[in-house]
Homo-oligomer: A and B are copies of this chain.
Amino acid sequence: MKKDQRPSYDHVPMVVIKRLPKYYRYLGELVEKKLERISSQKLAQMMDISASQLRQDLNHFGEFGQQGYGYRVEDLYQEIGKIIGLEYQYNMVIVGAGNLGRALANYSNFCLRGFCLWALFDIDPELVGLNVNGIGIKDISELHDFVADNNISIGIITVPKEAAQGVADRLVAAGVKGIWNFAPVDIKVPDSIILENEHLADSLMVLSFRLRGKMG
């Protein structure tokens, strides 16, 4: 008998994937409001997208609605959570215990959602040994063993851009499966490693572009 296997959802376009968290967010609010069901029409209106897009997006992953009735809010919320992969626990480390690294470490909500931070790393001896939100800052030399020994699957990079590629290489060598990069540079990783960039300065530039016409 074939082992129960998770669907792979290959061929689902990335634009669709990027909308999943938004669906999850809105459904979460509806769950809190104890709403039992909702139509694609109404949900789409709330989210300021088209009902067609909403239904088509969901249909990439299965048939979750009932004709003439709509979607059961709680069920759909759970299903999307599973699709996103939120039933897993992801163990994480942050490399770079500067302001941003420490800010992320303090954002303890992540851990509640299955994204669990176990350590920060830094090269600065002044920082090593300190504690952020109950999480220790270790010397970068300990990175490899810590990642390997503690089943760390995500490495978060919050170092200056000059150091980012080196850190990425070390994280990959140590065995992380994914990298969340906040350094303002495009790092290179093997195809098998999942890379998500958070280029804050880029967003600010997009804001700048869009503001141009409105400036004094």
Contacts and interface: CB of A to CB of B under 8 A. Distances in A.
Q: Please state the number of chain copies in the assembly.
A: 2
Contacts of A192: 214
A118 interface: no
A102 interface: yes
Interface residues of A, number: 59
A86 B24 contact: no
B84 A20 contact: no
Contacts of A24: 205
B196 A206 contact: yes
A21 B107 contact: no
Interface in A184-206: 184-186, 192, 194, 196, 198-206
B185 A211 contact: no
B20 A205 contact: yes
B106 A208 contact: no
Contact of A18 (B88, B110, B201, B206): B206
A55 interface: no
A144 interface: no
A51 B202 CA distance: 21
A180 B98 CA distance: 22
